[in-house]
Structure 1
C-alpha cells in the first residue's frame, strides 16, 4: 500500500518497494507528473546507491576481493521500512546479510519526502555503521511524463538550464570500443530529441553552474528540478519510444571505459568514515 501526503496543490504517493514515487499529482492542473513504469522502462524514480550504473567488468574490488551488484546498486531493489508522519514520509533501508554479500559495509539509507506548497522535497541521509571507511556513489533517476496532455508532442518540450553557460559533455561508447571523450558544449535550452539520446545513449554533463533545470512545453514552464551540488547531470529516455524524460543528478557515474579500478578509486566515489553520516537533497517544483 502506498504512503500518502497531500496539500491544496498536490498529492504524493510513495511505496516501500525502492521507496519510489508512484504518483506526484498536480491538483491545480489535474495532471500526473511522474512516469508510471508502464512503457519501455520498468523503473520510475529509483535512488542509485551505492553505485551508479555498473562497472565495465560487472565486478568490483574491495581489499582485493571481488563483489558484484545489479545495475545502479542496492536501494532500487530493496523494500524500505515506511513511516507516516503528519507532514513527512520517511523510508529506511538498512544493510543485512544479503547486502553484505554484494557490498561489504553496514549502512543506513534514509529517504524523507515532504510537501511545501507546490514543491516536493526529497531528502537523503546515508550513515556508515561499519567499522571502516565506506566508499559509495549516489545518484537520482526520476522519470517525468512527457507529453503531459493529449495533442502534445515529446519534441514540443525542452529542458531549460538556469544559466546560459559552457559545460563539458561526456561522450562515451556503450560498446566500450572507444575511450570516453569530453567536449565543450553550450547549455541553454535543449529541445527534447530522441535522436540525440539514441546517438549519445545518455546525455551526460559536468562543469556547469546551473542548480536547476526547467521542463517546459513550447516555452511554458511545467516543472523544475533543483539539484544544487550535484556535479553530473544526465538526460535519458528509453530507446523504445516512451513518453518520459529522466532528469538525473549524479555524484558519480558508471564505468565509461574498460578499466575497472578498485571501488575506492573510481571517479566520483565518496568516502564515509565509521559513524559518519551525510545528507543530499533535491526538489521537484510545479508551476
Structure 2
C-alpha cells in the first residue's frame, strides 16, 4: 500500500516495505529524484537499524550469546505499519518473535514524513521498551537518480559541502587484512567518480562541519540534503554502472576489522536506557 503527500511543488509517495520513499517528484521540473531500485542495486533508501553494515564475522554477541542479522539490520527488510494523516505519513514497527531471534531487545521504531514547499522532512524516533540497556546504531541510505537527464553525465555531478572541510576519511580493507586508518582531507566539493568509489569501496568522512550537502550538475544545485548531527557521511554507488549516488549520514559504521564480537564494543554504538528515546532526522530539498 502507498501513502501520499502532495503540494503544488512536490509529490511524495512512501510504502510500508521498510517505510521507504517510493517517489519524491519535483513537479516544477517534472523530475523524479529518488532512485527506483531498478538497476544493479535493488535498494532505494533504507534506514539502517540497529546495525550499519555488518560485523566482520556476520554475527555478534550480547551477554555471551551469539546472534546474527542481515546487512544493515532489521528495518530495511520489515513491513511497517503505515498511517496516512492529513499533513504527514507515519510508519511504526515493534519488535516481534522474528526480530528477537536476531536482536534480543524490545523496541518501538517510528518514521514520520512531512513536506513543506519543496522540502521533505523525515524524522525518526526509536524507543527502548526493554527492561535493560539497548545497544544500537543508526544510519540512512538514500539513493538519488544521477544523471537526471539522458543528455547529462554522471561525472558532471558533484556533492558540494556547505563549509570548507578539513575532515578525516576512513580507509579500510574490505578483506580485513589491514587495520582501518584515517587520512586528513581538505575539500569543499567531491566530483562524482565511480573510480573513486571503486578504489575506496565506500567513501566515508568523519567530523564534517557542514550541516548540509548539495548535489549539483555543473554547479547547478539540484538536491540539498541535511546531515546535521551525524558523525559520519558515506558516499557510494555500485561498481556496475547504475544511475544513482547514495548520500548516507551515519552514527556508526560496519566493522572494518576482525575481533570485535561484543556488540557493545563496536565503534559508534549508542545506548538507550529502558523507556529512553532516540530522535534524529534529515531533510531532502528539491532545488
TM-score (norm. length: structure 1) = 0.99
**Counterparts of 2:280 and 2:69 in 1: how far apart (Å)?**
22
The answer for the alignment partner of 2:202 in structure 1 is: 202
Query: What SS does the corresponding residue of 1:101 show, helix, strand or coil?
Result: helix
**Counterparts of 1:145 and 1:47 in 2: how far apart (Å)?**
18
Alignment deviations for residues 65-92 of structure 1 (CA, whole Å, 9 cap, x no partner): 0000000000000000000000000000
Per-residue deviation, 1:261: 3.8
Count of aligned pairs: 287
Alignment deviations for residues 125-172 of structure 1 (CA, whole Å, 9 cap, x no partner): 000000000000000000000000120000010000011121000011
The answer for the alignment partner of 1:185 in structure 2 is: 185
Per-residue deviation, 1:18: 0.6
The answer for the alignment partner of 2:83 in structure 1 is: 83
Question: How do 1:37-48 and structure 2 match up within 5 A?
Answer: 37-48=37-48
Query: What SS does the corresponding residue of 2:264 show, helix, strand or coil?
Result: helix
Query: What SS does the corresponding residue of 2:196 show, helix, strand or coil?
Result: helix
**Counterparts of 1:154 and 1:26 in 2: how far apart (Å)?**
20
Structure 1 stretch 180-189 or stretch 106-115: which is displaced more?
Answer: 180-189
Per-residue deviation, 1:207: 1.4
Is the counterpart of residue 56 in structure 1 residue 72 in structure 2?
no
Question: How do 1:136-147 and structure 2 match up within 5 A?
Answer: 136-147=136-147
The answer for the alignment partner of 1:257 in structure 2 is: 257
The answer for the alignment partner of 2:35 in structure 1 is: 35
Query: What SS does the corresponding residue of 2:199 show, helix, strand or coil?
Result: helix
The answer for the alignment partner of 2:105 in structure 1 is: 105
Structure 2: stretches of 5+ with no match in the other structure: none
The answer for the alignment partner of 1:149 in structure 2 is: 149
Structure 1: stretches of 5+ with no match in the other structure: none
The answer for the alignment partner of 2:26 in structure 1 is: 26
Per-residue deviation, 1:178: 1.3
The answer for the alignment partner of 2:161 in structure 1 is: 161
Per-residue deviation, 1:273: 0.3
TM-score (norm. length: structure 2) = 0.99
The answer for the alignment partner of 1:285 in structure 2 is: 285
**Counterparts of 1:98 and 1:38 in 2: how far apart (Å)?**
28
Alignment deviations for residues 261-282 of structure 1 (CA, whole Å, 9 cap, x no partner): 4111211000000011121000
The answer for the alignment partner of 1:241 in structure 2 is: 241
Query: What SS does the corresponding residue of 2:93 show, helix, strand or coil?
Result: strand
The answer for the alignment partner of 1:2 in structure 2 is: 2
Query: What SS does the corresponding residue of 1:50 show, helix, strand or coil?
Result: coil
Per-residue deviation, 1:208: 1.4
**Counterparts of 1:188 and 1:86 in 2: how far apart (Å)?**
40
Query: What SS does the corresponding residue of 2:197 show, helix, strand or coil?
Result: helix
**Counterparts of 1:230 and 1:153 in 2: how far apart (Å)?**
30
Per-residue deviation, 1:50: 0.2
The answer for the alignment partner of 1:227 in structure 2 is: 227
**Counterparts of 1:203 and 1:30 in 2: how far apart (Å)?**
31
**Counterparts of 1:150 and 1:135 in 2: how far apart (Å)?**
45
Contact 2:59 2:261 survives alignment (8 Å): no
Question: How do 1:64-75 and structure 2 match up within 5 A?
Answer: 64-75=64-75
* Cα RMSD for the two superposed structures: 0.6
**Counterparts of 1:102 and 1:256 in 2: how far apart (Å)?**
21
Contact 2:110 2:125 survives alignment (8 Å): yes
